Chains A and B, each alone.
Chain A
Amino acid sequence: MNKTVTANISGVVFHIEADAYEKLHQYLNTIRNYFRDSDGTEEIMADIEARIAELFKEKLGLGRDVITMENVKQVVEIMGEPEAYMDEDSSENYSNAEQNYSQENREYSNSNFSSRKLYRDEDDNALGGVCSGLGYYFGIDRIWLRIGFLVAVFGFGTGFFLYLILWAIIPKAKTTSEKLEMKGEPINVENIGNTIKDEFNNFKKKVDSNSAQQYAKRTESAVMKFFIFLGNVLKFLFKFIGKILGLAFLLAGVAGIITLIVFVLSGPFDMTINNANFNHFWTTDIAQLYFTSNSMFYMGLVGVLMVTIVPLAGTLYLGARLLMNVPSSNRVINLSAISLVVIGTILISISATTTAADYSMEQRKTETINLPELQSDTIYLGSIGNTYSAYRGGPEDVFIENDEIFMDEIEVDVVKSRSSGYELQMRKSANGKSRKLAGTRAENIMIEYSIEGNTLDISPLISVPFKDRVRDQRVKMSLGLPVGTTVYLKESANDVIYDIENETNMYDANMIGHFWKMTEEGLICTDCVKSDYRRSRIPSRLKPGVTELRTIEKIIGSEKLVELINIKGIDLSKLKELEKLSELEKLSELRKLGELLEDEDLENLELKIQSNGSEIKITL
C-alpha cells in the first residue's frame, strides 16, 4: 500500500504515489533553477509540464490510475536529467548562469562561516530553538549550548534571561532559504530540494504514526521482525525505567514543596542564644535587620518563593507525566511558570540591590582615649560578662534587646603607646549607602568598658541603635602600653583579644594567663616557661628560628648565648664574636644555630645551664 498525492499537471489531474511526487517535484524545481535567469521561464516550464502530462497520459489507462515511481523515472529519462539541459544549451545566458551558480557555490564553501545567518531553528527545538540556531551559527553541537544555558541558569538566572532575550531578538527561520542560510549551506536547487524533501519526510513520519508496523508488513523479513521485537523489548524497558524515574521525580517534587512550606512557615533555624529565641528566624526582626526595610525583606522572600516553586512544581509535574497520562503542558501553564520566575527574579534583584546599596560605602571613625586612671606598672586586661562566649563570624552572634542590636564585632589588640601613659584607641567602622550615613552609624556604635584599680575590662559586645540595622559595624580597639609596662591577660580576655603581635609569635590563646612586657621591639613574655612556647608556633617547626634565639639573646644576653654554644660544643667560631657582628650577620649566624639545635638539645641545654648554677632562667 502506498500513499498517493493528487497533482495538477498542466490542467490534468493525476494521482501520484507520494515518493514519486516527491521525485517529480524535485526534478521540476531543478530544471526551473537552470532556467531562472532566462526569459520565458514560465513558458518553458509550462511546455515541459504539458509534455510530462502527455507522457503520463500514455502510461495510464487500462485500469492503471496512479503514477508510480517507475513512471516518473521513465519520464525523467525521456525528458533528460537536468545536467543534459545544461550540456545541450548554447545560450550565453545559461552558461553565465551556470558560472554564477558555480561561483556562488565556491563562495559558500570558502567562507561558510560568514555566510551563515543567525536564526532560531524551530524544527529542532527544546524551547525556542535558540541553542539549535546558535549551534549552526558557531558550528557547535547544540547539546553543549543547551548544557551551557542550563548551567548559566543557576548562576543568578543569567542563562534564563539571556535565553529569553535571544528568543525575542533572533528571528525564526521560516522559509527554506532562511533555513539554508542558518545552516550555512548554499541556496541552490539541490539544497532547497533536499530541505523540502526533509520536510516532506518529517511530515510523512508525522502522518503515519505507526509507519514502522506498516513497513514491517510490507517487508515481512525475519530480520525486520527481530529488530521490531528488540525495539518492543527496549520500549518496555524504557517505559519501566520511566515509571521509576517518574515516581522519583514525583516524590522529589512533593518533598521539595513541603520543605519550602516548612521553611517559610517556621524557618530553618532553631537556636537559643543568650535567652533570645530564634525558632522563627524568618519572621523575627533578625533577618529583617539585614534589609533596608521590612517590605524589602518580604519582597525578597516572596521573590525567592516564586523562583524556587517553579522548578519544584516542574519536577512534580514531570514525575506525574512519566508516571501517568497527565495532559502535556499548555501555553498558559508555561507562560505563568515563566512569568513567576521573571517576576520572582525581579523582586529578588530589587530587594538585593537596595540592600546591597546600603552596604556600598564604608566609613571609619577613630578616637583615642587616655587612661590616666591606670597608674600601676602592671595592668590586667579582661572582658565584661562571664556568660557570653563569643561565636565569631556568624549571624547567630546578633541579638536585639531594648531597641538595640548587640553583636560581637570587637577586636582588641595590644600595642606600644604613642604617649607616655596608657591609652585606648578605638577604630569604629560601618557601612551605608553614603559615606555620611556610614559615618553616623560608626559614631553610633557603643562600646562598654570598665576600669577598676589596675584592671581594664572590655565588653565583647558592641551595641548599635535598632534603626541603624546590621551594616557591618565593627570596632578595632588597641590598648597602648608605654615601654616598660606590663599587661596581664586574664582568662576572660580570650573573648576580646585578636591577633596580638608579640616577639615570640605566640598565638592569642597561649598568651592568656601570662605577663607581657612592652619593650622597644614589642611584647615579650616575662613568666612563660618552655611548655608555653611548645604550644606556640615554635614546636610545630621543631627547630627554633631567629626570633626565638633573639628572645633568648635578649633574656640571657649575647655573652651567655655564646657560652651556651661553647658548652654544646658546636664550633661556630663566628658566634664567639657575636658582639662584633652586625645585626644582619648576627641573625644569619643565629639562624644557622637554630637549624642545628633539635628539640631535645634545647632541653639538655636548659639543664646544663641550671646545673652550672646560673642565675638566669632560660625559657626556650
Chain B
Amino acid sequence: MKIENTKAQMRKGVLEYCILSILESNEAYPSEIIEKLKEGKLIVVEGTLYPLLTRLKNAGLLKYRWEESKSGPPRKYYSLTEVGIEFLKELENTWNELMNAVNLTRKKNTK
C-alpha cells in the first residue's frame, strides 16, 4: 500500500465538497475555481477539474451560463442548482460528523 495512493484517495473524497463550497457564495469560471483549489493544494494540475465539473453538472448539482471573454474563447460560469444547494448541505453535515469522528478517534488514541 502506497502512501501516495491513500493521500490521493483522501483528496478525491473532499474535492467535490470543496468545489461545491467555492460555488456556494458566488458563481465562478473554472480558472477561478482552480486558483482557489490550488491555494489549498487540493489539485496540482488544471486538467483534472474539467471532468469533475462535467460530472457534477450531469448529476444536476451544477449549472452554467456562457460569458464572452476578452482574452480567448467564451467562458463557462458555474453556479449551484437547487439540488446542488441541498446536496452541499448534506455534505456539510457529513463533513462535520466526520471531523468529529476523526477528532474523537485521534484524542482517544493520544490519551
Q: Give me the interface of A with B, judged by CB distance under 8 Å.
A: 10-12, 31, 35, 38-40, 43-44, 47-48, 50-51, 53-54, 56-58, 77-81, 84-85, 87-91
Q: Is B72 an interface residue (CB 8 A)?
A: yes
A57 engages B12 (CB within 8 Å): no
B-side contacts of A87, CB under 8 Å: 8
B51 engages A57 (CB within 8 Å): no
**0/1 string, B70-104, CB within 8 A of A gives 1:** 01111110000000000000000000000000000
A80 engages B51 (CB within 8 Å): no
* Shortest Cβ distance from B12 into A: residue: A90
Q: Give me the interface of B with A, judged by CB distance under 8 Å.
A: 8-9, 11-13, 15, 30-31, 43-48, 50-51, 53-55, 58, 69, 71-76
In the complex, A613→B88 CA distance in Å?
144
A-side contacts of B31, CB under 8 Å: 51, 54
Expressed in whole angstroms, the minimum distance between the Cβ of A545 and any Cβ of chain B is: 92
A78 engages B72 (CB within 8 Å): no
Answer whether A85 and B47 are a contact pair too, CB < 8 Å, given A51-B30, A90-B12. Answer: yes
Answer whether A85 and B51 are a contact pair too, CB < 8 Å, given A54-B72, A57-B71. Answer: yes
Partner of B48, one of A38, A58, A84: A84
B-side contacts of A80, CB under 8 Å: 44-48
Answer whether A12 and B72 are a contact pair too, CB < 8 Å, given A80-B45, A89-B48. Answer: yes
A-side contacts of B45, CB under 8 Å: 77-81, 84
Q: Which of B15, B47, B53, B72 has most chain A Cβ within 10 Å?
A: B47
* Shortest Cβ distance from A88 into B: residue: B48
B55 engages A10 (CB within 8 Å): no
Expressed in whole angstroms, the minimum distance between the Cβ of B88 and any Cβ of chain A is: 18
A-side contacts of B12, CB under 8 Å: 88-90
Expressed in whole angstroms, the minimum distance between the Cβ of B84 and any Cβ of chain A is: 17
B54 engages A40 (CB within 8 Å): yes
Partner of A44, one of B54, B72, B74: B54
Partner of A43, one of B44, B54, B71: B54
The 10 closest A-B pairs by CB, nearest first: A80-B45, A54-B72, A79-B47, A88-B48, A57-B72, A80-B47, A90-B12, A10-B73, A47-B50, A50-B73
B71 engages A51 (CB within 8 Å): no
B44 engages A35 (CB within 8 Å): no
A-side contacts of B9, CB under 8 Å: 90
B-side contacts of A88, CB under 8 Å: 8, 11-12, 15, 43, 48
Expressed in whole angstroms, the minimum distance between the Cβ of B25 and any Cβ of chain A is: 23
In the complex, A80→B47 CA distance in Å?
6
In the complex, A43→B30 CA distance in Å?
14
B48 engages A44 (CB within 8 Å): no
* Shortest Cβ distance from A81 into B: residue: B45
B48 engages A51 (CB within 8 Å): no
B-side contacts of A35, CB under 8 Å: 51
B-side contacts of A85, CB under 8 Å: 47-48, 51
In the complex, A81→B44 CA distance in Å?
11
B-side contacts of A44, CB under 8 Å: 50-51, 54
A-side contacts of B30, CB under 8 Å: 47, 51
In the complex, A90→B16 CA distance in Å?
10
Q: Which of B31, B46, B51, B75 has most chain A Cβ within 10 Å?
A: B51
Partner of B50, one of A10, A48, A57, A84: A48
A47 engages B69 (CB within 8 Å): no
Expressed in whole angstroms, the minimum distance between the Cβ of B32 and any Cβ of chain A is: 12
Partner of B76, one of A31, A47, A84: A47
In the complex, A78→B45 CA distance in Å?
5
Q: What are 17 pairs between A and B in contact, CB < 8 Å? A: A12-B73, A39-B54, A40-B54, A47-B76, A48-B47, A53-B72, A53-B73, A54-B72, A58-B71, A58-B72, A78-B45, A79-B45, A80-B44, A84-B45, A84-B48, A90-B12, A91-B51
In the complex, A11→B11 CA distance in Å?
34
Q: Which of B9, B13, B50, B53 has most chain A Cβ within 10 Å?
A: B50
* Shortest Cβ distance from B53 into A: residue: A47
B50 engages A54 (CB within 8 Å): no
Answer whether A54 and B69 are a contact pair too, CB < 8 Å, given A88-B8, A91-B55. Answer: yes
B46 engages A51 (CB within 8 Å): yes
